[in-house]
Amino acid sequence: MKTLAKKDINKALGIWAQKHALLAPTKMDNGDCIFSAYDEKAFTLDYKKPPLSPKSVFFPHTEVIFDVANNQYKETVTAKKSLIFGLRACDMMGICQASSFMTRDKEDIYYRAKHNTAATIVMACPGAQNETCFCTTTLSGPVAKEGFDLQLYDTGDSFLVEVGSPRGEELLAGIPLSDLDDSRAKVQMDEFKQNAILTMPEVKSVIEAMNMLKDKKVAEKVWDDFGAKCITCGGCAFVCPTCTCFNVYDQQLSEGNGKRLRAWDACLYGGFTREASGHNPRVSQAARLKRRHEHKLLDYSSIDIQQGLCGCVGCGRCSDYCPVHIGTLEVVKAIAG
């Protein structure tokens, strides 16, 4: 196996940045860390879970899907050769989940184009980033199992470099690397993973909640109580790496000219399911919250990347950012409790 010395990380990032739109963990003035265009001065290896997953690389908040000029329309499929450095295992699984959803029946060409041209370098997670992480329960982390091009394991002065795809192999061209005996590397990777798992809370209630939802044993009062608290801000959906609801709308620029766009939406908004007749099959906030959590916690289908586990990757962001503290973690605890 190859290793990359930590002192050479900016050299490697500089090489990758020559051929890619490179996103990397970036320290903001307020102390937050986000995935942003690589800048050697603001880049940091000392980061926790960024507030937003990198899903907008594949599924932007707003994007034009076709332009209309003189009453003729032209589809607009944009993609650039991007590279996301440093994402965590839960976010890697989030990309796999979202990609599986967006390309499963009728392929979403806008998503697919960006997905095909984006490379990923995962930074294996050294342990729970805060008290809301539960990736070990959803089998999404702390180490990515699939989807990545490269995965790095921080072993102190250097990183072990795990190659996940032929594109990952290509990314190593020109990077200053050393060799490490495969069996020693495997011992180090296993140790890294075990140490990380030890820091993770075991959230048994996730499995209990999944079973109770499957057996339709959740009392409606649970949803009524959460529905009464929810202020319909949509924040939980926007920070969630696996949420892919969107709305489509038109902008007329002049007679015969305009564009069609799509933008993030959320199943917790009343308008998301309201039909043209005015009928809404999910008429209350309680019904919408119930549907959201069924979608997160019940099996999607056997073709899902997690082989029928659930649509939540355990990143905990909905619990971190819900202003009234009713993220998925709180919901599963209430269901199971």
What is the binding site for ligand SF4 (CB under 6 A)? 230-236, 239-242, 268, 296, 312-318, 322-324, 326-328
Cα distance between residue 303 and residue 32, in whole Å: 36
Q: Which residues contact 289 (CB under 8 A, 6 or more apart)?
A: 223, 226, 227, 230, 268, 326, 331
Cα distance between residue 44 and residue 12, in whole Å: 14
Minimum distance from CB of 221 to ligand SF4 (Å)? 17
Residue 32 or residue 191: which is nearer to ligand SF4 going by CB?
32
Minimum distance from CB of 78 to ligand SF4 (Å)? 26
Asked if 123 and 48 touch (Cβ cutoff 8 Å), the reply is no
Residue 3 or residue 129: which is nearer to ligand SF4 going by CB?
129
Q: Angle at which helices 285-297 and 220-229 pack, to 10 degrees?
A: 110
Residue 95, token pair as written in the block = 């990309």
Residue 93 or residue 189: which is nearer to ligand SF4 going by CB?
93
Nearest of 184, 186, 57, 199 to residue 141 by alpha carbon: 199
Beta strand 118-123 pairing with 62-69: unpaired
Residue 206: in which H helix or E strand, if any?
helix 204-214
Cα distance between residue 305 and residue 293, in whole Å: 19
Please give the distance of CA 269 from its chain centroid, rounded to a whole number.
21
Minimum distance from CB of 85 to ligand SF4 (Å)? 21
Minimum distance from CB of 30 to ligand SF4 (Å)? 21
Minimum distance from CB of 114 to ligand SF4 (Å)? 20
Minimum distance from CB of 300 to ligand SF4 (Å)? 13
Residue 141 or residue 168: which is nearer to ligand SF4 going by CB?
141
Residue 159 or residue 321: which is nearer to ligand SF4 going by CB?
321
Amino acid at 242: T
Minimum distance from CB of 23 to ligand SF4 (Å)? 19
Residue 79, token pair as written in the block = 């993609």
Residue 309 or residue 322: which is nearer to ligand SF4 going by CB?
322
For residue 168, count other CB atoms closer than 10 A to its CB: 18
**Neighbour-count burial of 281, counting CB atoms closer than 10 A to its CB (0-12 exposed, 13-18 middle, 19+ buried):** exposed
Residue 106 or residue 221: which is nearer to ligand SF4 going by CB?
221
Residue 128, token pair as written in the block = 């729970």
In sequence order, the β-bridge partners of residue 159 are: 4, 154
Residue 53 or residue 158: which is nearer to ligand SF4 going by CB?
53
Residue 158 or residue 319: which is nearer to ligand SF4 going by CB?
319
**SS3 label, residue 208:** helix
Minimum distance from CB of 293 to ligand SF4 (Å)? 8
Minimum distance from CB of 181 to ligand SF4 (Å)? 37
Asked if 297 and 206 touch (Cβ cutoff 8 Å), the reply is yes
